[in-house]
Structure 1
Amino acid sequence: MKLKYSCLLILCLLVSLSCKKLDTKPQDFLPPEAYYNTEEKLNASLTGVYDALGSTGLYGSRMCYLLGLEADEGYYARSTTPIGPHEYNFTASHANINMYWTTLYTGITRANALLANVDNNPEIKAGIRSQIRGEALFLRGYYYFMLVQSFGGVPLVLKPTLDVDDVDIPRATDKEVYDQILKDMKEAEGLVAKINLLGYSGRVSKSAVRGILARVCLFMAGYPLKDISKYAEAREWAKKVIDDTEAAHDLNPSYSSIFIKYARDEYDIKESIWEVEFWGNNGESYTEAGGVGYLNGPASANTDTGEGFGGVRATASLYQLYKAGDLRRDWSIAGFTYNATGATGAKTAITTVSVATLYNRTSGKYRREYELVLPKSRSVTPINFPLLRYSDVLLMFAEADNEINATPSTEAVDAVNKVRQRAWSTGIKAITVTNGGANYTSAPTVTISVPAAGGVRAMATAVISTSTKKVTSIPLVFDGVTGTQMGSNYTSATITISGGGGTGATATATVHKLTDANVPAADMASQEDFRQFIQDERARELCFETLRKGDLIRWGIFVFTMNKIGDQVTQQVPTAYWAQRYHNVKEKHLLWPIPTSELAVNNALKQNPYW
């Protein structure tokens, strides 16, 4: 017993002595004052804030094909994943919803840490610190913008979390979140660099801030806030982008070129104002590759072209929104299938155009055949993703202006016409056989006259009847970019038919006119007509850029539109596995549920209605 008490006494003395000598300062922790003290470290921290954009939970993967953001434009092209946001059949515990939430709050957490420490070292030039602060503020605002669209009001965390017990944060209201977004972005607008000084679109610029502010204000003007005073602000911010003579934004004269440049990592700061940067093939020391083109581009098994999962297909309703002469259709919706073997980009035209078969066409905007990073990885790509294009700014301006003036103004109509004319054909519209001739034993040669200076010559082939030996039709040759080799810069055209063993065949040609692109008179007869036209135009111009679902919700027509597409699919393709997805959409799907994992750790959170 005496020995027992002696041991206990010694133990107490040892504990007492060790407590007096214990160094409580951690040796494996780098305090903020020791890290954010050089320009290089500030930029490294800012890179971490940007990094969330390209992550798996956002534009690097899930947003491209598995979150249902295509809405009425398209659908996930597989029937083997019956549960998920793309199916409108899921619960608050779904991994993709949790990943989306977590990724955005990771970006916000990194932004908060940078903002709290950006001025730690006053010897770093004030201009550099201000620019970094501005970009971090904007990105924090953008991440909250993505959250409030998807979940409604969310916890507003604006400072680094220093206490592990400080996690029970209630949801702010939608308005409170939007007010903070405006505050962050408006402050950022005065701090970030001009895009013409940056020279590339992967970094936040004044143009990007102004354009996204226009988008934020349009969302505030629509459902659920319905603060119509924000239409004036949306117009003002869009006008700042349009009127900026230093940035001199303009549309790329070639619609397809925009997306080819994304694949080649070539910048076009006139049109592409802000984009998510990807690079590499996972085979280099530096790589930041994503899934753009593999997940949401045309399907492909050709390793030279670049393999493609083909995860998103277009709806027939999207295809039918385009009129003849609109070059965006056959770029945005693949009118071909890639050959499994052969040269890079080898493809076969899809010739069937029945309504049922239109649903089999994949998104065509993001094409791996144009990648320059070799060898091409099987499932990751260096293709950048657009977040804001100048055409979007023009359409936002027109939409806001129409709501303010209650009638289509000349300025608003001109903005829409500019978007449409950029993507309109000036090539051959159709070739009509006026005389089939006689005695043709093989298809004769068709020669189309030379277009005006700077144009491209159209190409066509003749089809003959083996029984009558007459020329029956003259279709234009297939083209993977424009649909057919219709040429350009034609005001008129003559058709010459020669060879083939026969004589006498003649044909005439009609040509597309740039003025055909203009908003039809019936579609600008009233505010409502023009509103509907702009809503359709946003689908034609911006499809598969993750904007459609948000647009339909803010316009207050999401549930109606989705159910309508479901009815159309059921009628047109009765056995379609994707029809039920559209029928599944209900009022509850205007918002996603707060992730179950968040409710478990934050006792102040409350779930969204119906979830």
Structure 2
Amino acid sequence: MKKTYTYTILLLILLTTAACRKLDRFPLDSPSSSTFYANRTELDLAVNALYNGGLYPQDWEEWTDNFWNRSNLGNEIIHSTATIQSFNFSNTWLTCYKGIARANGILDNINKATDVTEAYRQQIEAQARFARAYEYSLLIVHFGDVPLIKTTLSLADSYTIKRSPAKEIQDFINSEFDFAASVLPATYTSGLQYFTKGVVLGMKARLAISLNDWKTAADAAKKVMDLKVYALYPSYRNLFLRAGQHSSEVILSFPRSVTYLNTYDIQYTISRLAGGFASSIPSHELIDSYECTDGKTIDKSPLYDVKNPFVNRDPRLNATIVTPGDTFLGYVFQNHPDSTMVFSAKDNRKVVNKDNKGAANPFASFTGYLWKKTIDDSQLANINKVDLDQIVLRYAEILLIYAEAKIELNEIDQTVLDAINAVRARAYGVAVGATGSYPAATTTVQADLRKIMRRERRIELAFEGRRYLDLLRWKIIDKVFSKQMYGVPLNKADYPYPGIPVFDEDDIPSYEAFASKLTIIDKRVFDPKYYLWPVPYNESALNNGLGQNTGW
């Protein structure tokens, strides 16, 4: 590991900003001289560094029961094998403090520029204070107590700084969010991507829900709703493709660009026939959690047919997952061992199947499914350099935050049902008032509506990195990770699946009744110490005053 990665807190002395060619695009280098920030151009360059999505680490879907990665045979989070030297911990800590350093550099020097108005200076201050608070929100939900650094540190101070209580930092974050929300506009006329009032309030709501601060979450989410700026995009499928990138549902996203070398790779996700590896795959638990069109889980719905399991299901299943029989990326996807030939739309004929599970294709999808969400034919020309924007926060999540917070407060009214039903109706492509055309939520019983809302979050936000913290804060991760992860049936006579799982009180499916007929692909384990991540080794080695979280 390079030396620079072992001095996170020390970096706060040095890291202040980064520059790029356009205010809303990508940082290319890092000016940090004592004479910087002297004019508006330099302030623009400095604040631009805050719009690099890489500064705000997001949780991975593969840390949950929604996802499995064959290439790594799982990961250290779902196996509880991480150590205080693990990359996930050190990278999150380092990245967040890098962003904090940049924000502090702006705030420490914001009065140097003499060619700006006070109104402009306040806009810069609000953006920097929000960015810093957002970084701290990511830190406290993962690490708990962390150093609260509000200014650039001296070298001596960097060796002796202590951790502050998470509650103190949460209060600081909320005060910073409140200031930013009071200054930043609801929209900009330029069309460029900046932090807005809705972004700030939305992140305040997300932090609050992550910490079970129901009142703050409900209030902040309601303020976002009352802005009347955001709306659900008509097509759930297209929302995550090029057409939906700049829709009114997107509250915060970070741009990607092939030109600026900011891209991602889908080769591990797509089918082998389409040139992929089919190794990053959705789980059976996720697929089975999609309700039938009557709003019931598959173990309770008369509409479910185990031999034809993908009909009469929530439309988001088809929009999110490639299931056997789908035509996707130019090929019919079939995982049955006997499906040795499949139709190729590209060739207009049948071709040898590389995605059927069997001796000829041992690395075909281990669960028999692939991800469809965020992927379409337009990406096939360059599967290693896809540049769709990174959607970080969208309006559907705000509606579900509002609903959850009000449910937990036991303040269930029509606004709660409307929030859930708006998300559900969009999935079915109908108006929220067309309750005969989708399974509208109608119950006002707290326990029943809580189950509906939690299922809704899992399905609506699948493959978006929200499930990990949900499992932690709902205190069900130990139960989820105590179960084996199953793949395709052992015998081809049992395809597509040999039975119907039974869902428990937390909507966790059990496959015990027919587990002997399934392949086992992994065994997850949860150690309670993972409720809080450890202070990374390199930080505690440099400053033993930081202490350590319990169990690490």
TM over 0.5: yes
Specify the alignment match of 1:156 in structure 2: 148
Equivalent residue for 2:280, pick from 311, 332, 340: 311
Structure possessing the higher radius of gyration over alpha carbons = 1
Shift of the 84–542 alpha-carbon distance from structure 1 to 2, 3 Å rule, reads same
2:246 is aligned with 1:267: yes
Matched, 1:597 2:538: yes
Decide which of 188, 193, 207 is 1:216's aligned counterpart.
207
Distance 2:174 2:447 in 1: 29
- 2:221 and 2:48 mapped to 1: Cα distance? 27
Q: 2:217 aligns with which of 227, 230, 234?
A: 234
Say if 1:77 and 1:184 are closer, same or farther in 2 by CA, change over 3 A: farther
Matched, 1:256 2:244: no
Aligned residue for 2:544, secondary structure, equals: coil
1:326 matched to which residue of 2? 314
The answer on whether the counterparts of 1:231 and 1:403 sit within 8 Å (CA) in structure 2 is: yes
Between the two structures, name the one with larger relative contact order (CA 8 Å, sep ≥ 6): 2
- Secondary structure of the residue aligned to 2:374 is coil
Q: CA deviation at 1:182?
A: 0.9
CA pair 82-549 structure 1, distance change in 2 beyond 3 A: closer
Question: Is the counterpart of residue 244 in structure 1 residue 241 in structure 2?
Answer: no
CA shift in 2, pair 1:265/1:195, >3 Å: same
Q: Where do 1:480-499 residues align within 5 Å? A: none
Aligned position for 1:97: 89
Unaligned runs of 5+ in 2: 1-29, 293-311, 338-356, 358-364, 486-508
> Structure 1 pair 555/64, CA: closer, same or farther in 2 (3 Å)?
closer
- What is the correspondence of 1:571-582 to structure 2 with a 5 Å cutoff? 576=519, 578-581=521-524
CA distance in 2 between counterparts of 1:298 and 1:115 reads 44
Match of 2:198 in 1: 207
Shift of 1:329: 1.0
Shift of 1:154: 1.0
Select 2:400's aligned residue among 381, 389, 395.
Answer: 395
1:347 corresponds to which letter in structure 2?
Answer: Y
- Please tell me whether the aligned partners of residues 588 and 609 of structure 1 are also in contact (alpha carbons under 8 angstroms): yes
CA contact (8 A) 1:138 1:188 kept: yes
Task: State the shift of 1:315 in Å.
Answer: 3.2
- Taking structure 2 as the reference length, the TM-score comes to 0.74
- SS of equivalent to 2:391: strand
In the other structure, the counterpart of 2:370 is 362
Q: Is the 8 A contact 2:61 2:67 kept in 1?
A: no
1:137-536 equivalences in 2 (<5 Å) = 137-164=129-156, 166-197=158-189, 199=191, 202-220=193-211, 222=212, 230-245=213-228, 247=229, 249-261=230-242, 266-268=245-247, 270-280=248-258, 284=259, 286-291=260-265, 293-294=266-267, 297-299=269-271, 302=274, 310-323=279-292, 324-335=312-323, 345-350=329-334, 359-367=367-375, 369-371=377-379, 376=382, 378-404=383-409, 406=410, 408-424=412-428, 515-521=436-442, 524-536=443-455
The match for 2:506 is none
Instruction: State the Cα distance separating 1:424 from its structure 2 match.
Output: 0.8
Letter in 2 for 1:345: L
> Residue deviations 1:410-461, cap 9 Å, x none?
11101111110011157xxxxxxxxxxxxxxxxxxxxxxxxxxxxxxxxxxx
- Structure 2: which amino acid aligns with 1:545? E
Q: Percent identity?
A: 24
Quote the offset at 1:198 in angstroms: 5.2
Partner SS for 1:408: coil
Contact 2:142 2:533 in 1 (8 A): yes
Find the aligned partners of 2:111 and 2:173 in 1 and give their Cα distance. 22
Note if contact 1:302-1:338 (Cα within 8 Å) is conserved in structure 2.
no
> What SS does the aligned partner of 1:238 have?
helix
Contact 1:93 1:595 in 2 (8 A): yes
Are 2:69 and 1:76 equivalent residues in the alignment?
Answer: yes
Cα distance in 1 for partners of 2:68, 2:76 equals 12
Cα 1:30/1:84, change in 2 over 3 Å: closer
- Could you tell me the TM-score, scaled by structure 1's length? 0.67
Deviation of 1:528 (Å): 1.1
